[in-house]
Amino acid sequence: MNRPDGRQVEQIREITFQPGIAPHATGSVLVSFGDTRVICTACVEDDVPRWMKQQKVKGGWLTAEYNMLPYSTLQRKRRDISVGKLDGRSSEIQRLIGRSLRAVMDLKALGSRTVWVDCDVLQADGGTRTASITGGCVAVAIAMNKLLAEKKIKQSPLKQLVAAVSAGIYQGEALLDLNYPEDRDAAVDFNVVMTEKGQFVELQGSGEEDVFTAEEMASMVSLAQQGIQQIVALQKEAISNADQADETSLQDLAQAFNFRK
């Protein structure tokens, strides 16, 4: 079949990670799934939510916020603050991001800290929630490695990576990583969240005014598994590159300091 952008049915869009996009965050990355672009940051706060203190829960917490910027869509999206409340879709997506990342975190190893993961969509072309989870994990990994380098923690609370990708039934065929035209016209839409070890964190799927068979569901999940293996490899490369860049920056700073001395 001919996909709108010419990809094969099992082909993910070009995925890139640009670490360090928000210097004041503990960890940050600009993730791109084709024309979908999301800034993901992880900020670490040396405090925990009030409910954890009241219930004397040990360890830390991770929570997420998701927002589509007004210019991210073809028609301007009103800011939530202008209507006085978070819309239902954004609320559901940020809960999904938080659940997905907490599934791979050892919150006790985090200590009495809160990790705030913010995902701001710059441009939406389908798959903003899957890009947010994928980029959010990279931002958290960079942040945890920074805490390790600063000797604030003894081991990384991030047990393994997590990534997400969409799949769907479009014009009668199972496709991987739907862009906006495919997502808009898909008969069935699935979002799959998995760990790097191949474990499922969450499956979200529904027929868009249609039904689907067990065989079709298996095809979509199989495509997603293949896609996530590729995405995890790209995540690892991005995290490694970010760590090397941080190490180089520290070496440059040390050299500059010695030179001044």
Distance CA 148, CA 156 (A): 7
Query: Distances in Å between the alpha carbon of 251 and those of 28, 105, 161, 222, 254?
Result: 21, 30, 28, 44, 5
213 among the known binding-site residues? no
Torsion of CA 230, 231, 237, 238, to 10 degrees: 160
| Tokens standing for residue 45 | 């706060």
Cβ 212 vs Cβ 169: under 8 Å: yes
Contact 25, 13 (CB under 8 A): no
Query: Dihedrals φ, ψ of 97, to 5°?
Result: -60, -45
Q: Binding site annotation covers 127?
A: yes
Half-sphere exposure in the Cβ direction for 48 (13 Å, CA):
17
Known binding residue 128? Answer is yes
Number of neighbours of residue 38 by Cβ within 10 angstroms: 30
Residue 185, both tokens = 């016209």
Q: What are the φ/ψ torsions at residue 68 (nearest 5 degrees)?
A: -100, 120
Alpha helices in 72-213 (DSSP H): 80-83, 88-102, 107-110, 128-149, 180-185
| 133 SS3 class | helix
Q: DSSP string covering 18-31, please?
A: EETSSTTSSEEEEE
126 is in an annotated binding site: no
Query: Annotated binding site for phosphate, which residues?
Result: 89, 127-129
Query: Annotated binding site, which residues?
Result: 89, 127-129
